[in-house]
Structure 1
Amino acid sequence: MWETESLRLLVTVAETGSFTRAAARLNYTQSAVSRRIAALELRAGGPLLVRLPRGVRLTPAGRVLHRHAVDVLDRLARAERDLTVLHAGDGGALHTGAFATANIALLPAALRALKDARPEIDVVAAENPTGTLMRQLADGTLDLAVVSDYPYGLPSADGITATVLCEDDLLVALPRRHPLAGSQAVDLYELRDETWIQSAYGDRPTMLADACARAGFTPGKVMRIAGWAGKFGYAVAGLGVALVPSLAAPAVPVELVLRPLTDTALRRTVHVALPETPLPAALALKEFLIEAIVERERPRSPG
């Protein structure tokens, strides 16, 4: 294995053309320089320097190793600078993740604020279910994730801490021409004859099924649509109604209205999750997420 200091010494000797001047620059004794260069030549399998009456110069083998040494030292210097920036929270890559509706407005708003404050940070964003996000945090793939306790509760992961960001109520999306569109709040039982537009993944428990059971009925007609754009499209066309998390409200088309439900249990808790030793940039993003929640919940003045 090539020792970094020996490579640095070779580069310095080549730059100064002298053992004496290299020793002075690196705060070595001349005899120490001679010993280390001799050890380096032994490792290289032959002479690296031609000893001249007044100084030294590189041999062909010395020029080859010198070229690689310069490249190695430059890479190490850049790595040191990158790590300094990363640990200061002023730059480097920040890998984030969120579940689908958190990526509609919440996380983008916080990331925009982070980029405005620290433009050198290189944000890498991903979207996945909460269970996947927690595993990615645990294996170091992600530096921060926005996760929720729906539908199975918040998964635990070694070395991961989660902080509550907000409660995310589920609202019902209705076409504006729907008879209940003008209601202040909707009782689920009033929607017992509706077609429900739900996730395409029908094998997992849903809040809707539990809530309908509490209201005294079972949803009779269900359409399985995977993406939110498709769900909204079907609802706009009057083909059904859908439960929509409040986090998704900014993406709801103007042809739909969102109404709260009388069943206050229809909600999930949203968390920001971080590894045990988070990056400073991740901690900064956490604060911007909290600010985004505060801004989201601030009452709007009329007009």
Structure 2
Amino acid sequence: MPASHSLYEVFLRVAQDGSFTAAAQALGYTQSAVSRQIQTLEDEWGTALFDRLPRGVRLTEAGRVLLPHAEGMRNRLRTARAELDALRSLGGGTLRIGAFAAADVSLVPHAMAVFGDRHPAVTVVHTEGPTAKHVALLAEGGLDLAVLSTPAGVPLSGPELHHLLDEPMYLALPRAHRFAGRPRLRLAELADEDWIEGAVRPEQTLLAPALASGFRPRVAFRVNDWTAKQGFVAAGLGITVLPALAAGAARPDIALVPVDRADLPCRKVYAGTPRGRGHSPAVGAFLALLRAAAERLATPAR
């Protein structure tokens, strides 16, 4: 029997037409199929719902009691089907996404803007925070998709990972800095500089991969926000590492110089989805837009 008609919808059609045969014709079933469905419903409720007459059928008292409840069930099923159809066609529903701060500079906003233009009926809920927070939310079912990052060589376990890009690192320098025009820099050349980082301990910053080689930066100021870091650099208070995703919105009064990848390898950037769960159409559509946005991200020219 087609899944588009429930037992209650068959019951209501028989009650309306007063005939198994007429209901079968209206629903596109055989008369025997309709009869079996009504018998199944009667067995479920433990009572006859129709009196079988020489010509057609008539609701019993039990059938009349069930009638308004069946109508309510039919209406709820119609609503559920409409909502599920909307999810399948991206005509409704909610998409919950998360991203680390640098990804929110250009990568994620671009994908969100295109997604909103194409699928305006889908509500997008956005959460910002570090990768560890989003990995936990994915595991708990609190997010449908998150943009995650991890240093090269450091595994990221838990979610299903979809590679987006390998993100190079840049040094943000004051425009007047002696190295501002260099095509590439080694960190050893900057050993005497003051650094502006998100934590006093270098192990907790983007400079962590360089520590194994003996490099020890002198962190002069702790600043978390990417825009604020650039302000400190522009004022000549120090230098900082700027990932490529944040470098796309760099201030015009600072210079960006690539870091030698022997010192700071590219950071891995992924879209993460809950492991073991199928992707909704909205997740699939947003993931495709993230991939397209990652491909279009150009190396900033400074």
TM-score class, shorter: 0.7 to 0.9
Aligned to 2:187: 188
Closer/same/farther in 2, CA of residues 6 and 270 from structure 1, 3 Å limit? closer
Structure 1 residues 68-147: aligned runs within 5 Å: 70-89=71-90, 91-147=92-148
Closer/same/farther in 2, CA of residues 155 and 177 from structure 1, 3 Å limit? same
Among 238, 242, 245, the residue aligned to 1:244: 242
Amino acid at match of 2:183: Q
Q: C-alpha distance in 1, partners of 2:152/2:203?
A: 8
CA contact (8 A) 1:209 1:218 kept: no
CA contact (8 A) 1:232 1:252 kept: yes
Structure 1 residues 273-284: aligned runs within 5 Å: 273-274=272-273, 275-276=275-276, 277-284=278-285
Aligned to 1:256: 254
Amino acid at match of 1:168: E
Closer/same/farther in 2, CA of residues 170 and 299 from structure 1, 3 Å limit? closer
CA displacement at 1:96 relative to structure 2: 1.8
Q: C-alpha distance in 2, partners of 1:254/1:176?
A: 9
| Per-residue CA distance 1:72-104 (angstroms, 9 max, x = gap) | 433322222222332345543222222111111
Closer/same/farther in 2, CA of residues 92 and 263 from structure 1, 3 Å limit? same
Amino acid at match of 1:189: A
CA contact (8 A) 1:110 1:289 kept: yes
Aligned to 2:172: 173
Q: C-alpha distance in 1, partners of 2:239/2:202?
A: 20
- Give SS of 1:181's match: coil
After superposing the two structures, state which structure 1 stretch, 17-26 or 205-214, moved more: 17-26
CA contact (8 A) 1:202 1:224 kept: no
| Per-residue CA distance 1:31-90 (angstroms, 9 max, x = gap) | 8899899889989xxxx99xxxxx999x9xx79x76665454333222222223323455
CA contact (8 A) 2:197 2:219 kept: no
CA displacement at 1:19 relative to structure 2: 9.6
Amino acid at match of 2:289: F
CA displacement at 1:252 relative to structure 2: 1.8
Query: Structure 2 stretches of 5 or more lacking a match?
Result: 51-56
- Give SS of 2:192's match: coil
After superposing the two structures, state which structure 1 stretch, 196-205 or 13-22, moved more: 13-22
Q: Number of matched residues?
A: 290
Aligned to 1:228: 226
CA contact (8 A) 2:103 2:245 kept: yes
CA contact (8 A) 1:163 1:272 kept: yes
Identical pairs, percent: 34
Q: C-alpha distance in 1, partners of 2:90/2:115?
A: 11
Q: C-alpha distance in 1, partners of 2:134/2:114?
A: 22
Q: C-alpha distance in 2, partners of 1:298/1:219?
A: 26
Q: C-alpha distance in 2, partners of 1:122/1:67?
A: 34
Amino acid at match of 1:278: H
Closer/same/farther in 2, CA of residues 165 and 5 from structure 1, 3 Å limit? closer
Using the size of structure 2 for normalisation, the TM-score is 0.73
Amino acid at match of 2:86: V
Closer/same/farther in 2, CA of residues 67 and 150 from structure 1, 3 Å limit? farther
Amino acid at match of 2:227: A
CA contact (8 A) 2:200 2:219 kept: no
After superposing the two structures, state which structure 1 stretch, 18-27 or 198-207, moved more: 18-27
Aligned to 2:53: none
Using the size of structure 1 for normalisation, the TM-score is 0.73
Query: Structure 1 stretches of 5 or more lacking a match?
Result: 50-54
